Each structure stands twice: as C-alpha cells, then as structure tokens.
Homo-oligomer: A and B are copies of this chain.
Amino acid sequence: MASTSSLTLSQALLARAVSHHATEHRRDSRLSPVSLPTFSGLKSITSTATRATTATNCRRVSSRQVRAAAVETLDATTDTSLVEKSINTIRFLAIDAVEKANSGHPGLPMGCAPMGHILYDEVMRYNPKNPYWFNRDRFVLSAGHGCMLQYALLHLAGYDSVKEEDLKSFRQWESKTPGHPENFETPGVEVTTGPLGQGIANAVGLALAEKHLAARYNKPDSEIVDHYTYVIVGDGCQMEGISNEACSLASHWGLGKLIAFYDDNHISIDGDTEIAFTEDVDKRFEGLGWHVIWVKNGNTGYDEIRAAIKEAKAVKDKPTLIKVTTTIGYGSPNKSNSYSVHGSALGAKEVDATRQNLGWPYEPFHVPDDVKQHWSRHTPAGATFEAEWNAKFAEYEKKYSEEAAELKSITNGVLPAGWEKALPTYTPESPADATRNLSQQNLNALAKVLPGLLGGSADLASSNMTLLKSYGDFQKNTPEERNVRFGVREHGMGAICNGIALHSPGFIPYCATFFVFTDYMRAAIRISALCEAGVIYVMTHDSIGLGEDGPTHQPIEHLASFRAMPNTLMLRPADGNETAGSYKVAVVNRKRPSILALSRQKLTQLPGTSIEGVEKGGYIISDNSSGNKPDVILIGTGSELEIAAAAAEDLRKEGKAVRVVSFVSWELFDEQSDEYKESVLPASVTVRVSIEAGSTFGWQKIVGSQGKAIGIDRFGASAPAGKIYKEFGITAEAVIAAAKEVS
C-alpha cells in the first residue's frame, strides 16, 4: 500500500478547527461530536489554501498539465489499516451481493471503495436515522450501475434502509436494493440513476438548489443552508451529451459546492475506452470552467483523495472535478482492469482468488467488528448534526419568522394555505389569447404564493413565456433569483429540474421548450416520472399551429407518447380556465411530473371550461341533450376544443343533441369513478368524434370502434398555421362530416 502514514480527514479538520475562527469551525468540525484517537498535529495549517491558489495560477500558465493533488503529509498516528479494512468491507459487500444475485456490477464498487469510504466516513455530514434531514450533504452515484457501492456505504453508515438482509436480497423482487439506485425505494439514495449522465445533471440541480436557498435564507449571523453535493461519474457519464450540458451550466452558475469524482478507470462495457473515448477530459472540463484535480492513485492513495477534497472545498467560485484514476475491479487478480468485471458476477473461483489476494478471511456479507465499531459513530454524530441544526433553525425562526416560514414550506413540502386562490380565472368575455401567454399569467401569479416555484426555459423564454416578472435571473452572483436560464440544453434542463425537485419537497421547478423538443429531454422526463419528481414541463408551440417553422418543429406523436408514459400527467388546456386548472393540477401533484402542452396561437375563451373540470381530466363543456343520451359526442383537447365547440353549434342548428367534452388529461379522467366516466361518455352513445391536432394513436379507446378520431398521422408542413389546419382537415367542417358519417 502506497500510503503508510495518514490521518483521517475528520481528524485533520478537527485539528484545524482548534486554531481557526468560528465560521471555519462550523464548517470544519463536522465530525466533532465523534470521539477520535489522538494525533500529533498538523505540519502546516495554511498549506491547503496556499496550494489551492498556486494550483489556480499554474493552470493559467499551462493548462496541458493537470496538476496531481498534493498528498497530505501529516505527522500523525494513524489507523490506515482500519481504513483499508473498511474499504475492503465495502468491496466484499459488493462482491458478495452481486455473487448472490448472480447479477450486477462489482467493478465500480471495487475501484471506487476508497473514495466512497472517505466520503461517507470522513467527509460527508448526514444523519443515517433521518435520511431526509434538510441540511445533509447530498451524494449522487451518477454511474448508477455501481449501486452496491452506495448500498454498502449506507449499510455501514447505519441507514435502516439497507440492513444485512437487504444486501442479501440485492436486485430481488421488492427489495430495498434494486439494480440501480432509486430514491423512491431506498431512503438515503437522493435521486434515481442508471441511465448515464442523469446523475451528474441531478447533482447540478441539487447544488443549484443549495446555492439558491443559501442566498435567499442565510443571514450574516446564521448560515442555515449549507451543504455540499458530491457525485461520482464514470466514463459513460462523461461520454453522454447531457453531462456536458449540465457541467457547462454548473460552472456558469459558479456552483462551488459541487464536487464531482470522475472514476477514471479506462474501461467501459465494450472494453478499453481507447476504442471510443480518447478526448482530453481534463481539458474539456477546464474549457467548461471547472477546477480540475487529478488523483493519480485512486486505489490506495487515500491522502491524495483527502487532499483533493480539501482543495476542492477551498475553491468557492467554481465546481471541481476530481479525476480519480482507479482500477476497475481492484483486488480481483484475474478480472480487474477488464470489461469482464464491469457488469457480471466474478464467479465463485474469482471471488475466492480475490479474497486471498486482498487477505479477506471472512464469510460473505461479514462486516468485521472493528469496522462496524468504527462506523457506529455516525449514528450519534448524525443525530447531533440534526439536533444542532434544529436548534439553529429555532434561533433563526425567532429572528426571521417570515423567511423561516418560507424555508419551512420548501423543506417540508406543505403548500401555503390558500395558494390556489392566486390562480387567475377567465370568462368567455376575456380576450382570446395563446395558452402560452395564459401560462405566463399563471406562473407569475403562482410565484407570488409558492416560495418553491422557480424555473426557466432552454433559450426560449420569450417564446415559451416563462419569465417571472417580479424576479431577476438566477446567476452566479444573483443566486437568490428565480428565473433560470438553461441555454439550449433541454436534456440537462430536465435532469437539473429533477435534482431541484428532489432536493426539498417544497421545490416546484418548471422548465420549458417547444413541445417537439421534449424529444431531446425525454430520458429526463421519464426519470421525473419514475423518481416521483413533480417537475412542471411548460411545453409551448404544441402542434402544427406553430405554423411556418415546419415539421421539425411541429409535434405530432408527442401527446400520445406521453399519455403512454407511466406516472406522467399530460395536460393540454384549451383556454384560460383550463390553463389555470392545469397549473392547479401540476402544483398539487408533487409526486408526478406534469407536461403542459400550450399553444403558440390565440385561442377563444370558451364557455363551460373550468378549473374543476380540468381536475377531472375529461368533462362536459356544453350539452343540449337530456337524459345522458346525446346524439353525438364531440371530444377535443387544447386548441381543437374550440373547433369541436364550433362544430357543435352548427350541428345543434341542424337539430342534433350534441355534447362537447374537453379531454384535457386522459390520466386524470382514467382516475375518476366509473359512474363519473359514464356521465361524460355514456357507453350507449357510440357516435363520437374526437379532434386533436396530433396523432390519432390511442384515440380509439375514447371514441370506440364505431367513432372517428380526427387528427394528423403524418409529419407537419411549413406554412401559415391556418393554411396547414385547412389542408390537414383539422376543421369544424371535418368534425361535422365525421359526426354524420358515424351516425
């Protein structure tokens, strides 16, 4: 082992705390409640800061050379052997769990165990008995396939979510230890990762959330919001475009408390990264504006890792990438440093060989007593952290009651009483308007009553109409503001919003682009749905109605594609009241994302629409029939509801009993009682016509085998909107003709 003389960072930090002023003490004494062995002191108390400055200067002179992290040289008694034992415990818990499941990824946990140990045992501040304690440091395993690393760490740290039996049921039905980290299954896991690159973008969102709350609520005498966000990314995350998007924003925003570890192991599933990944990652990250440190020996260079973290913390104005060169599957004599250890169990023979190689005499899943004892201090330490913070918050609340109430609402997710009264309402006499504009009225009204509402657009704020007029831009030096400028980075935007939403339950992040560009961010939207992040997706220009931009910009299949996605609310409001209703639904649904499809073009304010109607998903806006027996039911959504209404008027003039139904959200309608559904769409009435400027795919469920769905089952076209509507037959005439045809 390379490092024979070392000191845990917590020990070192504690030592610093003795001679430092109060502010530093608060940050540095994080593990102070824990009783620690004695040590002989630090060689140079100021060396870190000096070194960090020098490093920055060096980088300016010659950026080709990324400086290796300086190794701490501490004159200390040490228990490196215990550190190594703990690290090997992590490795073998991963090996054993994957072996028992005969499925999983042992390679990353074996290589990243040292950084994992140092983070969870020496650096991070958390309370294992309350994984949701607000001010905890956040950890994200962006390389989510290596989840046994995190499960092993949560287990050692004392989280109740990962007991020994949970490790033994890794990847099994209803276990707390699924195949990739899932926040909704495992308390202690912050976000849901596995799809590569999502985690680092989530981490950017978590760090944004911290910076924003700190700027809004910290006071000169009380730093009530104050935590770091740590993330481990692998080569796969680095190759994904989403990570570049999110990392470009992270430095733009100056997220100094975001520290990313790049597990630089040169192996991906297809073999050596040489076959597809030969860029200079360090240089790219410097180009992105990050502070970059290289830990050359991530396998046993514990002090190097510690020093890198110290240096990263000293850099306040930008995020840090710590490139940690590791050996995938470290310890496996025949499989390490090869793709074969990435995603398969080692096999009994190689497990034995690894036990021998690392000198591990224990049974599977065994945690040696001294390791157990060592980690046991985190339970009382965590309780103390939380208790101290609670006391601090009580003080804060006394002095700053208004801010405290707001912050509380963000931390506990309880919406302020009466918030929904802020929603605007409209009458048929209100001016016709595009739902994107009506959306902006709602956003601005809600921002006043919902302290956790913040968001923005992917460089289309003036088209998506998402600016909050009472607020400025969230920027590096104005992080207290609530308009977020994401640039043309839809995928990163979605995943960052997932991070914000999962930071604290009262955050209500919204983000925006043209509806068609949900294609760029679909992977992030799916994660919103899966991880129960109530992000509001403000998607304007929702059909051929956008006109001249043409088929690349005109959504067709998008409504159908989201209606098919589990745990997702697809909302397509028709006018002002329905837009307000959609926002009401979106705000209330904190555990599923809402996608609002909004028009570019002006729409009439329709009689009969209502917020309450939207809450039911599908409802009658007008009807001249009686006894629940209309001659025909016309069904529309969004911008086509007014077409259905117009067609109904004409048909009624011809003596027909016509019901017009707004079908603003299929999912909400599905959740209504059978009785309600029958009251809207009686089974006996088979003369049904739907109209929607999108794919007819799925509409047969609503109109039935004998009904007719009017829609668009081809790509759009470039022309003025009215012309396309006419040429594509999205007209009242077509509705009337269809109604007669199916009668």
Taking beta carbons and an 8 Å cutoff, which residues of A are in contact with B? Answer: 60, 62-64, 101, 103-104, 144, 171-175, 178-180, 182, 192-196, 235-237, 239-245, 248-249, 251-252, 268-270, 273, 275-289, 339, 457, 459-463, 473, 475, 485-492, 516-517, 519-520, 522-523, 526-527, 529-530, 547-553, 556-557, 560-561, 563-567, 695, 697-698, 700-701, 704-705, 713-715, 717-720, 723-724, 727
Contact = CB atoms under 8 A, between A and B. Distances in A.
A473 B491 CA distance: 30
A592 to B, nearest CB: 11
Nearest to A701: B700
Nearest to A547: B103
A328 to B, nearest CB: 14
A186 B185 CA distance: 52
A523 B519 contact: yes
13 contacts: A63-B64, A178-B717, A179-B553, A241-B241, A248-B279, A251-B279, A269-B461, A270-B460, A278-B289, A284-B288, A556-B564, A556-B566, A557-B565
A734 B492 CA distance: 41
A713 B239 contact: no
B551 A561 contact: no
Contact of A560 (B286, B552, B560): B560
A269 B462 contact: yes
Contacts of A564: 556-557, 560-561, 564, 695, 697-698
Nearest to A568: B557
A343 B475 CA distance: 25
Contact of A180 (B195, B243, B549, B723): B549
B548 A179 contact: yes
Contacts of A193: 552
A279 B268 contact: no
A566 B557 contact: yes
A173 B724 contact: yes
A566 B717 CA distance: 13
B241 A240 contact: yes
Contacts of A550: 171, 178-180, 182, 194
Contacts of A529: 715
B553 A269 contact: no
Q: Lowest 4 CB-CB distances: which A-B pairs, in order?
A: A241-B241, A283-B287, A284-B287, A276-B487
A267 B64 CA distance: 30
